[in-house]
Structure 1
Amino acid sequence: MRADAARNLAAVLRTGARLLAEDPSTSLSAIASAAGVDRTTVHRRFATREALLSAVFQAKLDSAERVLDEARLTEAPVAIALHRYAEGIIPVTRAWPVDTRRMMRDDPTADSRRAEQSRRLDTFVQRARDEGYLRADVPLAWARAVLDQLVDGIAHRFPDLDAPQAADLVVDTFLRGVGAAQ
């Protein structure tokens, strides 16, 4: 793919993610205009809004997959892995604000990938508890929900915090809020 075509595609995907998160009925023409590309450029690549949305979901999943791999959730010490995850996933959450629940309904392939990523995080939270970083009396599902809400909340409600600062807050809040007394 040519460099300008790759830039255009990236602009369309990121703009589409933002606009479709705000209004799922946004037209391809409106996305093209906001992305600064010709309408035919978008229509040539994506026949429908649903096709664009599927590409957005795949891009979000690809980004999240890279973050999970780079965090080394099964190998790195828990606090370090958690910080790497938070620092990586906060920008992904900001860049791809589409609702993953819609992804689950509309795209079985994306749903399968999302479920695998979720399983990896569940395993990490279990590891954190097994290694004494989380209280044993806190249900794992609750701890995981808290982690997800911390990431989502800081990503969207505090956009001026850079990723490292935001990750520091997520880790501190997560490990002290549901962490074991030390």
Structure 2
Amino acid sequence: MRADAARNLAAVLRTGARLLADDPGTSISAIAAAAGVDRTTVHRRFATREALLDAVFQAKLDSAARVLDEARLTEAPVAVALHRYVEGIIPVSREWPVDTRRMMMADPKARGRREEQSRRLDDFLQRAADGGFLRTDIPEAWVRGVLDDLVDSAAHRFPDVEAPQAADLVVDMFLNGLGGP
């Protein structure tokens, strides 16, 4: 792919993620205009808005997969793995603000990838609970929801806080607010 075509694609995907996060019904024309490219440029690459949305989801899932791998959720000490995950996922959430949990993914493969990534994080949280880092008297869904909400808040309500500092705050709040006795 030519360098200018790659730049255009990246701009379309990132702009699409931002606009679709605000309004899932955003048109390809609006995304193209905001990305600074011609509508036909977008249509050459994506036949429909849904195809563009699927590409945005794939880009976010690719980024999230790298974060999960680099966090070493099954090998690293729990607190270290949690911090790595949070520090990595905050920039992903900022760059790709579209919420794959709430928006319908037409592509079953993308849905499956999201579910697999979610299971990896759930398994890690179970490991944290088994290791005494989290209270076991709180429902697992509640624990996961709190972590997701803390990450989302750090990423979007406090965009000026750098990811490492935001991760420090999120991990401290998470472990001390839900920490074991």
TM-score by length of structure 1 reads 0.95
Where does residue 75 of structure 1 map in the other structure?
Answer: 75
RMSD: 1.2
Where does residue 62 of structure 1 map in the other structure?
Answer: 62
Where does residue 174 of structure 1 map in the other structure?
Answer: 174
Deviates more, 1:131-140 or 1:53-62: 131-140
Matched, 1:10 2:10: yes
Q: Residues of 2 paired with 1:172 and 1:4: CA distance? A: 43
Q: Residues of 1 paired with 2:55 and 2:33: CA distance? A: 18
Structure 1, unmatched stretches of 5+, are: none
Aligned-pair identity (%): 80
Q: Residues of 1 paired with 2:159 and 2:17: CA distance? A: 17
Query: Any residues of structure 2 matched to 1:1-182 within 5 Å, and which?
Result: 1-181=1-181
Write the letter of the residue equivalent to 1:150: L
Q: Residues of 1 paired with 2:105 and 2:41: CA distance? A: 28
Give the direction of change, closer, same or farther, for the CA distance of 1:150–1:102 in structure 2 (3 Å limit): closer
Secondary structure of 2:101's match?
Answer: helix
**Does structure 2 retain, via aligned residues, the 8 Å contact 1:103–1:111?**
no
Using the TM superposition, give the Cα deviation of residue 19 of structure 1 relative to its aligned residue in structure 2, in angstroms: 0.7
Structure 1 residue runs of 4+, over 6 Å off? none
**Does structure 2 retain, via aligned residues, the 8 Å contact 1:17–1:56?**
yes
**Does structure 1 retain, via aligned residues, the 8 Å contact 2:54–2:105?**
no
Q: Residues of 2 paired with 1:61 and 1:103: CA distance? A: 13
Structure 2, unmatched stretches of 5+, are: none
Deviates more, 1:103-112 or 1:169-178: 103-112
